[in-house]
A and B are shown apart, each in its own frame.
Chain A
C-alpha cells in the first residue's frame, strides 16, 4: 500500500545523530553492512569487491564536509541513512505497493518480493537513502534494523539499530520521536535538532544535532590564561638552588 498512513503514526521511531560528536570513523557504516547483509534485506550485494570498480549496497554512508575558514573553520562528519520521513514521496510514487510506511511505528520499508525495480522511489527520495541491488534487481533501504529492535531473542540493550549500538563516540541515538518526553525528543529540544531539506516537505523523523559552538578561549577549560612568570631574581635557594646552579652551568 503506497498511500501513506491516514492518521499520524502513534510512534515515530527514528535516529538522532549528533554532529558535534561524530568523528567520522565509519563504525556505524560497517556494522550496518554487517548486520543487514544477514538480516531482513540480505544480502547487501557487493559488485566487484576486489576489482577496481567496487560498488555495493550500503544503507548508511558518512560524508565529510567543511565550512568557513581560519578560526571559523569547521569540519563536520555527516552520517546519512533513511530518515523515515512522515510524508515521503518515495512511498507514494511506488506503483506496486512494494514501498510502504508502517502504521504502527512509521518505519519505511520495501517488500522486496513485490518490487519491479523501476527505481522511481530512488528518484523521489531527496536524500539518496534508497539503494538498488543490481544483483537481486530490487530496491533496498535502511530498515531501522526492524529485525533487531523487535527481536525477542536479543536482550534489551541490543534491541537497537546496529549503527547505534556500535558507535564508539555515542553520536547516535535511537528512540520514539513521536513522544515529546522520550530521551531522544528531549535531546532534540535541548540541542536544537533539525531536519534535512525541510523545504521539501518530507518531514523527516530522524533529526540532526548541530555542532556545539566552538570553545576556543582558555577560560572555558578552567585553566589560567598564562602560567605565572618566574623571575630570575626569585631563584630558589637551598638544595634546589644548588641543583639549579649546578645544572645551569
Chain B
C-alpha cells in the first residue's frame, strides 16, 4: 500500500495524543500525578494538540473536507465512521477534565470521573482506528488479530514517553509513570516482533489462480497489463518495498522505537535530576521517530489482493 504521509502523520500524532490522554485521564484522578495546574495545562495541551493536529491532517487527506461531517453518519457499518464519532465525543469529557485540572486545580470526584471518561473514549478511538485496518480482508498484513493490540500499545507507548519526559522536566516525583511506560514499551516491542513474525510466516488465501479462476496447468502469468502507465490502482495499492530495505528499516525501528527508549526510560527511572530528565527526553524523541518509521512500514509492507491482477504473487 502506498504510504501516504498524511495518514502516517495522522495515525502517529493522534495515536500519541490519545495515548497521553489515556494515561492523564486515569493517573491524575487516582493521585499518581499531582493536580499541579501548570503541569496539567502543559500535559493536556500537548495531548489535545497532538490529537487535533492529527485529526486536521486526516481531514486534509480528504479531497472534500467540507463534507467530512457526513463521515459520522454510518457508524452502524463503518469503522472509519465510528472513529470519527469516538474522536469527536472524546473532546467533551476531555474539555471538562481540563477545566477541572487547569481551571480549578482539582482532578478528583466528578472532575476525575470526566478524566476517566476521556481516557475511555480515547481508548475507543484508538481501537476504531486499528479496526479500520484490521477489518480489511484484502490486505493480509492488516487483516490479523495482531494489528489492534499493536496499534493500542504503540499509542500508549508513544504517548507515555512524552508523559515521562514532562514528569521529569517538571521535577515531579512519579516513578510509577516511568515503570508503566517501560512496561508499555516492552509489550509493544514484543507485539511488533510477533506481528512481523506473523506476516513473514503466513499467507493470504488468494492467489493469481483464485483471482482469475484460470484452471490450466502451471502458474498463471500476466502477459499484458491493461495499460502502459500506472493507474489509480497501481499508485494507491501497487507500492512495493524490497525485502532487504524492509529488513533494514525494521532493524532501525527495533532500535529507535523500542531499544533506545527502553534504555532512556530505565535511566529516567533509576537516576535522578537532569540525567533522568535527559534519559526521558531522549526516549520520547527516539520513540516518536521510531513509531513514524513503524507506521511507514505498516503501509509499505502491506500488499493488496488487486495486485494479483497485475502479476504480483500472493501476499
Contacts and interface: CB of A to CB of B under 8 A. Distances in A.
Interface of A: 1-4, 19, 24, 29, 52-58, 61-69, 72-76, 78, 80, 89, 91-98, 114-120, 122-128, 131-132, 134, 137-138, 194-201, 208, 210-211
A90 B3 CA distance: 20
Contact of A118 (B80, B210, B214, B230): B80
Contact of A138 (B64, B71, B219, B223): B64
A197 B138 CA distance: 10
Contacts of B229: 52-55
B216 A74 contact: yes
Given A63-B222, A64-B223, A67-B214, A123 B67 contact: no
A95 B78 contact: yes
Interface residues of B, number: 60
B175 to A, nearest CB: 43
B63 A117 contact: yes
Contact of A3 (B77, B79, B226): B77
Interface string B136-150: 111100000000000
Contact of B223 (A19, A66, A198, A210): A66
Q: Which of A24, A119, A197 has the most CB of B within 10 A?
A: A197
A57 B65 CA distance: 22
B215 A210 contact: yes
Contacts of B212: 65, 76, 78, 196
Contacts of A96: 67, 70-71, 73-74, 81
A118 B208 CA distance: 28
A110 to B, nearest CB: 13
Contact of B217 (A62, A67, A115): A67
Given A94-B78, A116-B68, A72 B237 contact: no
Nearest to B211: A197
Contacts of A53: 229-230
B64 A123 contact: no
Contacts of A118: 61-62, 71, 80
Contacts of B223: 64-66, 75
Interface in B64-120: 64-65, 67-68, 70-74, 76-81, 84
A61 B73 contact: no
A128 B237 contact: yes
B216 A95 contact: no
Contacts of B1: 123
A67 B218 CA distance: 6
A122 B231 CA distance: 13
A216 to B, nearest CB: 14
Given A96-B67, A116-B62, A199 B206 contact: yes
A137 B77 CA distance: 23
Given A54-B228, A116-B71, A3 B76 contact: yes
Given A67-B217, A114-B70, A132-B232, A124 B64 contact: no
Interface in B127-160: 132, 135-139
A82 to B, nearest CB: 13
B206 A200 contact: yes
Nearest to B138: A126
Nearest to B305: A126
Nearest to A200: B137
Given A97-B74, A116-B71, A123-B138, A65 B220 contact: yes
A179 B226 CA distance: 33
Given A68-B217, A117-B63, A210-B215, A199 B309 contact: no
Given A58-B231, A61-B231, 16 more contacts: A62-B226, A67-B220, A67-B221, A91-B77, A95-B78, A96-B74, A120-B78, A120-B132, A123-B136, A126-B305, A137-B63, A197-B206, A197-B305, A210-B214, A211-B214, A211-B216
Interface string B274-306: 000000000000000000000000000000111
B200 interface: no
6 contacts: A3-B76, A4-B77, A80-B309, A93-B79, A115-B67, A198-B210
B62 A95 contact: no
Contacts of A52: 229
Contact of B218 (A63, A72, A125): A72
B244 interface: no
Contacts of B217: 67-68, 72
A124 to B, nearest CB: 6
A63 B224 contact: yes
A55 B230 contact: yes
A122 B71 CA distance: 16
A132 B80 contact: no
Contact of B213 (A94, A95, A125, A194): A194
Contacts of A73: 216
Contacts of A75: 223
A74 B61 CA distance: 44
B225 interface: yes
Contact of A69 (B72, B139, B205, B218): B218
Given A92-B78, A93-B79, A115-B64, A125 B214 contact: no
